[in-house]
Amino acid sequence: MKSRIPYTRPSITELEVGYATDAARNGWGEHCYDYINRLEARFRDYLGVSHAIATSSCTGALHLGLAALGIGPGDEVILADTNWVASVAPAVHLGATPVFVDILADSWCLDPARVEAAITPRTKAILAVHLYGNLCELDALLDIGRRHGVPVIEDAADAIGSIYHGRRAGSLGVFGGFSFHGTKTVTTGERGMFVTNDAALHEKVLTLSNHGRARGQTRQFWPDLVGYKYKMSNIQAALGCGQLERIDELQARKRQILTRYRELLAGCTGVSLNPEPPGTVNGAWMPTVVFAPATGVRREHAQAAFAGENIDARVFFHPLSSLSMFGAHAGAGLAADIAGRAINLPSFHDMSDEDQVCVANVIRGLLGE
């Protein structure tokens, strides 16, 4: 039987192992934040933002940011119907109502026209999720936000390395959230990062992330409000420091993999891959193929074909509105349609060209080529 081709796994070298070992051996007492502080500073510089706070996850970063903005019961948060539940969960936990809108056919991200139509007096945030490394139409969304007085938030969990007209994804909204999950381009095993250019918002999140203890509070173990425990460990941050030193290499390899898929599928009709509009760079976290309706290829066909070749391809996200906790509506929009004819492709850093050829051959077989 052929060796299994996983859809993802991290790239870890002796650099990361060395830093993590040092943190485990020496990163205690007065040194317990050394790698955390280093990671936050390096990520801040990499992204070109004023503030960065290491968090438990991207979900935790979103939760902290939304809470700091004062979002709660009676408020509405607009986001795309095509998303993983992690994007919407923080709004629900805070008592807000998620408003799902349809996606664009090319980017699979928020449709700005649908966002504008969904704005009400109760709208308190627009959550722009850069799906699979693809970029939302931020100029249009930021303009809508300005005109209606609604903050635009970037969920850049998938978008480390994506660039929107000269600025890195996650740096343009009121705040951004990133994921360092083990599947991501840059990993700490789990955890994430909150980023912002708003000094006041940064202070609020810093307080909330540490059990409500304000940075300027002089009394020991004195919380100023009830906060959260959404922090990263020093050992995890050490791993992340090594990854950030290699980020250009890690990012370049991801883009090479997406480019190679484009080459291998260039002669195929009826399939499309992650877009890269002029003036942008797709971080290429998760190469995804969408089969045109005319091909007749459905998600289940693709899953079975890949499984038959021992390839771990991943399904495209189901529409959030189709989940039982959100009403289980089948939906008739693009979010429902595309999910039924798309599949995420393997893209781990050290996959071989032979691996990619095998993946492409499955797609060609599905198309009858």
- The model's confidence at residue 16, banded by pLDDT at 50, 70 and 90, is very high
Q: Is 186 helix (H, G, I), strand (E, B) or coil?
A: coil
Is-contact 63 230, C-beta < 8 A?
yes
Residue in the block written with tokens 């890690």: 250
* Residue 283 DSSP code: -
Q: Does the pLDDT of residue 332 top 80, yes or no?
A: no
Q: Does the pLDDT of residue 329 top 90, yes or no?
A: no
The span from the CA of 159 to the CA of 167, in Å, is: 12
CATH superfamily, with its number, for domain 247-366: Aspartate Aminotransferase, domain 1 (3.90.1150.10)
Q: Does the pLDDT of residue 70 top 70, yes or no?
A: yes
Domain residue ranges of the chain, discontinuous segments joined by +:
14-245, 247-366
The span from the CA of 178 to the CA of 66, in Å, is: 14
**Residue 212 confidence (pLDDT):** 94
- The model's confidence at residue 216, banded by pLDDT at 50, 70 and 90, is confident
What does the pLDDT average to over 85-114? 97
Q: Does the pLDDT of residue 282 top 80, yes or no?
A: yes
Is-contact 241 35, C-beta < 8 A?
yes
**Residue 284 confidence (pLDDT):** 98
The span from the CA of 258 to the CA of 264, in Å, is: 10
Nearest to 195 by CA among 88, 89, 90, 45: 45
Please give the C-alpha separations between residue 337 and each of 13, 37, 110, 135, in angstroms, as whole numbers: 41, 44, 15, 20
DSSP character string of 210-245: BTT--TT--STT--SS---B----HHHHHHHHHHHH
CB atoms within 10 A of CB 247: 16
Rounded percentage of the chain residues whose pLDDT exceeds 70: 99
Rounded percentage of the chain residues whose pLDDT exceeds 90: 96
**Residue 328 confidence (pLDDT):** 74
The span from the CA of 222 to the CA of 244, in Å, is: 34
DSSP character string of 77-103: EEEESBS-HHHHHHHHHTTPEEEEE-B
- The model's confidence at residue 33, banded by pLDDT at 50, 70 and 90, is very high
Q: At what angle do helices 234-245 and 34-47 cross, to 10 degrees?
A: 40
The span from the CA of 225 to the CA of 283, in Å, is: 38
**Residue 35 confidence (pLDDT):** 98
**Residue 331 confidence (pLDDT):** 63
Q: Is 70 helix (H, G, I), strand (E, B) or coil?
A: coil
CATH class held by domain 14-245: alpha beta
- The model's confidence at residue 330, banded by pLDDT at 50, 70 and 90, is low
Q: Does the pLDDT of residue 184 top 80, yes or no?
A: yes
What does the pLDDT average to over 352-358? 97
The span from the CA of 68 to the CA of 62, in Å, is: 10
The span from the CA of 316 to the CA of 321, in Å, is: 15
* Residue 296 DSSP code: -
